[in-house]
A and B are shown apart, each in its own frame.
With several copies, the nearest count.
Chain A
Amino acid sequence: MIQEKQTILWNKEVAPDIFELTLQGEMVDAMVPGQFVHIQVPREDLLLRRPISIATIDAETGSYRVLIRVDGEGTQSICAQHAGMTLDVLGPLGNGFDISFLNPKDKVLIVGGGIGVPPLLGLANLLHEKDIDMDIVLGFQTRGAIVYEEEFKRLGHVTITTDNGSYGIHGYVSTVIDTLTQPYHAIYACGPKGLNRYINLKFEDHPHAYISLEERMGCGIGACAACVCQKRKEPRENIKICQHGPVFKTGEVIV
């Protein structure tokens, strides 16, 4: 974990209000998919960093991609920075996805929703290298919000859903997942609260099902207790998402 100024190599609006940035920095060496970075907003009056998932990692160029949806003033300000400018980044943070137990030809289900999709692309890249078989179900609000469809198609079998039916299957990812019967060696999900909650319950007893959670953060490194979630089982315990997450086993915490 380090703090450094990273150069923006690339910044492009890839969907309405969704920007893809490529950042270059030393910390890339230490990154694994599922971790996140904590980006300082380049505006003096906004103090809190913004947690953003690492999408894909390129060890060769020492760079990584993030996909940021402009949601408020902070993400707007970050996304308004041009290539060549720098951002103050703290990272990599959190635990990342565990894939150590997987073997070639294992079957994996990947479930993403909206702006939760990007970190799954980095994961899928890694799984692809390991020769894992992937079913990938991605849900978006509308056709315009779809990202990384092509990239995922190169890595596995992709199904897209849209909330309004403007592309792919009409409905939530659950519409698709409820029809899947194949047992999977692992399940990885990242998306809005509803999606995470659904996976958390549906695959509660699966030995290798994971969800990646979001919460408002202060420090990002386990010092302030802003970002907690509660353990599912007694004795009651609060877990810091920034430090012990953002990836949790299903059934581990309450979503």
Chain B
Amino acid sequence: MNRLRVKLPGLDLKNPIMPASGCFGFGGDYGKLYDLNLLGAIMVKATTLEERYGNETPRVAETPSGMLNAIGLQNPGLEDVLNEKLPKLMKYDLPVIANVAGSTEEEYIEVVRRISQAPNVHAIELNISCPNVKHGGIAFGTDPIVVERLTRACKDVSRVPLYVKLSPNVTDIVEIAKAVQRGGADGITMINTLLGMRIDVKTRKPILANLTGGLSGPAIKPVAVRMVYAVSHAVDLPIIAMGGIKTVDDVLEFFMAGASAVAIGTMNFHDPMILPKLIDQLPRRMDELGISSIEALIQSVKEARAHE
């Protein structure tokens, strides 16, 4: 028996650890550092209908235990992703979770419809929460009515299970999660980045060309844990959790908060070997903490809640 195995809608994961969208491209050169088959899955960079050039540079800035990014959804567009990027990942035994973004409901629907037909795409991650896109991105993620409708529309056209990615930049994330559930999603991924800014005291101007950017990394972990905890109490959907994971204890902390799998973003930049390291360390730490399997842990968290 594989103690690390987790089954989620559309995803039969050999382990519950994967790279987060946008932090791993479509594999980038990480495949030169280690065998990508080690990963539980791969969440690839957001795809839009047409090519996007993204924001001006600088696109990243450093913050205490975190970073800001304002990449701005740069991507080669749906056609290129379907014809070039996704086929390159076919050589791996690696379920792809396709991150989909758009400026209009129609764009979302079209991208979901077509990308969900790609042979190695096992699930969709609907990015309704990217804080760096001017055209509506933020509005999509913060209004429960819009979220529900968009979720349903995308679910209707998707050939594979649909996960919706939640933004933390809202007063009440539970309300959004409930809208996602009503819309018929198969799962939730959370959290995306917190809106932030850094100003260079020498130039007196924001460091990012886009002025603001998304805060990620360990700095936001407590916010992510709190939101995963709240959402997993309120809706009945599996959660793939992310937000500042750095250590194997962070991984387990998210499971205890209610997650069913985790993704790692920013820390790949700090330590490009972090994913294989965590996957390697996980069973040992589970032994120390008396956790027989990840599925058992997920189950026991659920049961503990039933008695709360």
| A touches B (Cβ under 8 A) | yes
A interface residues, Cβ below 8 angstroms from B: 1-3, 40, 44-49, 74, 88, 90, 215-230, 236, 238, 243
Interface contact tally, CB-CB below 8 A: 106
Contacts of B71 on A, CB cut-off 8 Å? 224-226
Q: Do residues B270 and A40 form an inter-chain contact, with CB atoms below 8 A? A: yes
Is A47 in contact with B67, judged by CB distance below 8 angstroms? Answer: yes
Main secondary structure of the interface of B (DSSP, over half): loop
Question: B58 to A219, Cβ gap below 8 A?
Answer: no
**B272 to A47, Cβ gap below 8 A?**
no
Q: Report the minimal beta-carbon distance from A248 to chain B, rounded to whole angstroms.
A: 15
Binary contact readout B205-232 vs A (1 if CB under 8 angstroms, 0 otherwise): 0000000000001100000000000000
Query: A45 and B272: CB pair below 8 A?
Result: no
Indicate if the CB atoms of A238 and B62 lie closer than 8 Å: no
Nearest B residue to A72 via CB reads: B62
Most chain A CB within 10 A, of B23, B25, B33, B58, is at: B25
Q: Is the CB of B61 within 8 A of A216?
A: yes
A216-B58, A224-B28, A226-B58 known; 5 other A-B pairs, CB under 8 Å?
Answer: A47-B270, A216-B57, A218-B269, A219-B28, A222-B29
B30-41 contact mask (Cβ, 8 Å, vs A): 1 or 0: 101100000000
B24 at the interface (CB under 8 A from A): yes
Query: Which of A40, A46, A223 is within 8 Å of B29, CB to CB?
Result: A223
User: CB < 8 Å: which of B30, B59, B74, B218 contacts A223?
Assistant: B30
Closest chain B residue, CB of each to CB of A90 = B272
B53 CB–A CB distance under 8 Å: yes
**Residues of chain B with a CB closer than 8 A to A1's CB:** 29, 32-33
Contacting A218 at CB < 8 Å: which of B45, B65, B67? B67
Count residues on chain B whose CB falls below 8 Å from chain A CBs.
Answer: 36
For B32, what are the chain A residues with a Cβ–Cβ distance below 8 Å? 1, 221
Can you report 28 A-B residue pairs in the complex whose CB atoms are below 8 A from each other?
A: A1-B29, A1-B33, A3-B272, A46-B62, A47-B266, A48-B62, A49-B269, A74-B62, A88-B271, A215-B58, A216-B57, A218-B60, A218-B69, A219-B272, A221-B28, A221-B30, A221-B272, A222-B28, A223-B24, A223-B28, A223-B268, A224-B28, A224-B71, A225-B54, A227-B59, A228-B54, A230-B53, A243-B29
* Residues of chain A contacted by B62 (CB below 8 angstroms): 46-48, 74
CA A90 to CA B274, docked complex, whole Å: 13
10 closest A-B pairs by CB: A223-B28, A223-B25, A221-B29, A216-B58, A226-B60, A47-B270, A222-B28, A226-B59, A225-B74, A218-B269
Question: In the docked arrangement, what's the CA distance between A49 and B273, Å?
Answer: 14
Please determine whether B53 and A47 come into contact, CB atoms closer than 8 angstroms: no
A204 vs B29: C-alpha distance when bound (angstroms) = 31
By the criterion CB–CB under 8 Å, are A48 and B30 in contact? no
A217 shortest CB reach to chain B, Å: 7
Partner pick for B33 among A3, A46, A74, A238, CB 8 A cutoff: A3
| Interfacial chain B residues near A220, Cβ < 8 Å | 269
Docked-complex contact B270 and A224, CB < 8 angstroms: no
A48 touching B33 in the complex, CB below 8 Å, given contacts A216-B61, A225-B54, A228-B57: no
